[in-house]
Amino acid sequence: MKLVLFLALTISSLSFAGKNIYDFSYKTIDNKEVSFKTYKDKVLLISNVATRCGFTPQLKTLESVYQKYKDQGLVVMGVPSNDFGGQTPEVNKKVKAFCESSYGVTFPLTDKYSVTGPNKPGFVHFLLAGSNNKNITWNFEKFIVNKKGQVIKRFPSAEKPDSKAMVQTIEKAIKNEL
């Protein structure tokens, strides 16, 4: 059974090889279908987010990074998920209201998705395809996608969005150096 599951996961990961983020779409928190092609020639910082996690204050820092770099081509995107300890039990409308009122979030939020297991959306499979760890292990893992639609760096939950490493990666991606 383990071998079958391993093969299925390997084949699933291989099916995302050679693609880019622009091959996928997502639903917004307001239930609108959006293609990632909307963000062509932009740098994406995509993070799974939660409303009741010890890392939830990172929403404020994600917003700060978004405000600082959005005019240079950065889009921050939050992907609400209830996968880890039930830390986002709210429905979309309440997640959006919480993020906006508690942390001033203006960056795009997706529909609430599962980011683990077989039901995760294609774009999450894509984000994980090039990584050694094929799973998101906690809230607020962060992925940087360059202007070509390729994942260039993955950061763990504890890494603050305004850390030196993240800022350097974002700035290099904006300059097309990554």
Q: Report d(CA 76, CA 17) in Å as an integer.
A: 24
User: Could you say which of 21, 44, 46, 53 is catalytic?
Assistant: 53
| Residue 14 C-alpha from the chain's centroid | 20
Residue 99 falls in the annotated catalytic set: no
DSSP secondary structure, the chain, as one string: -HHHHHHHHHHHHHTTTT--GGG-EEEBTTS-EEEGGGGTTSEEEEEEE-SSSTTTTHHHHHHHHHHHHGGGTEEEEEEE--TTTT---S-HHHHHHHHHHHH---S-BB-----SSTTS-HHHHHHHHTSSS-S--STT-EEEE-TTS-EEEEE-TTS-TTSHHHHHHHHHHHTT--
Supply the residues annotated as catalytic: 53
